[in-house]
Structure 1
Amino acid sequence: MSRQFVTEAVMMAIYGQLLVSSSPVEYIVPYTTVMELYELRDSDDPLMNRPDDDKHVKLKISELIAYFEEPLNAKKINRCLAVPWAKSSGILLGGQSKITIINSMDTAVYGEMFDPIETELLLSSQREKVPILTDQFELIQRIIEGGVPVQVYDIDDFDFALEEETSRNLH
């Protein structure tokens, strides 16, 4: 059984270790975060502090966009866009990792506490009953402070999150 997380598409570009996990992982990614990849790629604003890192991440973003635009992957993605909350079939990313795109909808249920993409992450997590994986410490804090009923892991705890689920399944 694969471990599932809700996350943003850009996390796949920034954190390559997500694609080479030691056990099967499925990343459920809101479609709006896939569209955000185009904005991040074309923006003059740096994503990373060091110029070399920024150039590398923007290259990885471009590669991920190109992969999503390949005919079979684009067909999988486009199929889920006709119906709210529909999911694509899995798009393989490496040996044990796959991405499933979800056509999530921001219903403004969390008001001003979370931006539209954060709201879609929260709603996708609740709907799919899987934890969020993020590198945004402020988002984690707001989730905890707001009492939002989702489980969330920091990217730095990714290996722990995988181990925790594995040990939970053994009991």
Structure 2
Amino acid sequence: MSRRFVIEAVMVAIYGELLVPSAPVEFIVPYSTVMELYEFQNSPEALMHDPVDDMHVKHKINELIAYLEMPLNRKKIERALSIPWSKSPFILFNDNIAWTIVNAVDNERYGEFLDPIETEIILTAEREQAPILSDQLELIRRIIEAEIPVQVFDIGDFEYAMEEDIFSNKHL
């Protein structure tokens, strides 16, 4: 059985270890975060502090965009965009990685406490009963402080999050 995580699309480009999981994984990706890839692709601002790392990440973003724009993958994504909260069929990256794009809709449930994309990530995690993977410590802190009923893991703990027995408790 594969592990499922809600994640922002750019995290897969930034963190290469997500592409070599120890077991099958499904990344559930809100569509708004896929659209962010295009913003990052065209932005003159650096994503990483080190210029070499920044160039590498932008190259990975370009590869990810190209893969998602392949006709079959594009068609799968477009199917999800017709109805709020609908999901794409699996987009396979390799034998161990599948993406599901969700047409998440921010309903302003968390007001100014979270930005629209953070809200979509949390609402997707709630709907899918899947933990969130994030490198945003501030988001993780706000989820914990607000006692939002979702599991959240720092990306640095990805291998730990992949362990089978941690999912016996639905919420932390």
- TM-score band w.r.t. shorter chain: over 0.9
- Structure 1 position 147, deviation (Å): 1.2
- Structure 1 position 94, deviation (Å): 2.4
The equivalent of 1:161 in structure 2 is 161
- Which one-letter code corresponds to 2:97 in the other structure? S
Residues 1-171 of structure 1 correspond to what in structure 2 (within 5 A)? 1-163=1-163, 166-167=164-165
- Structure 1 position 19, deviation (Å): 1.3
- 8 Å CA contact 1:20, 1:94 repeated in 2: no
Tell me the SS of whatever aligns to 1:32.
helix
- 8 Å CA contact 1:46, 1:54 repeated in 2: yes
- Structure 1 position 20, deviation (Å): 1.1
RMSD: 1.1
- 8 Å CA contact 1:3, 1:26 repeated in 2: yes
- Tell me the distance in 1 between the aligned counterparts of 2:144 and 2:5: 18
Identity fraction in percent: 60
- Structure 1 position 86, deviation (Å): 0.4
Question: TM-score, normalised on structure 2?
Answer: 0.95
- 8 Å CA contact 1:25, 1:97 repeated in 2: yes
Cα 1:147–1:169 shift into 2, 3 Å: closer
- Which one-letter code corresponds to 1:112 in the other structure? E
Question: TM-score, normalised on structure 1?
Answer: 0.96
Runs of 5+ unmatched residues, structure 1 = none
- Tell me the distance in 2 between the aligned counterparts of 1:160 and 1:30: 23
- Which one-letter code corresponds to 1:167 in the other structure? D
Runs of 5+ unmatched residues, structure 2 = none
Number of equivalent positions: 168
Tell me the SS of whatever aligns to 1:108.
coil
* CA deviations over 1:57-107 (Å, ceiling 9, x no partner): 000000000000000000000001000100001111122011100000000
Runs of 4+ in 1 over 3 A off after TM superposition: none
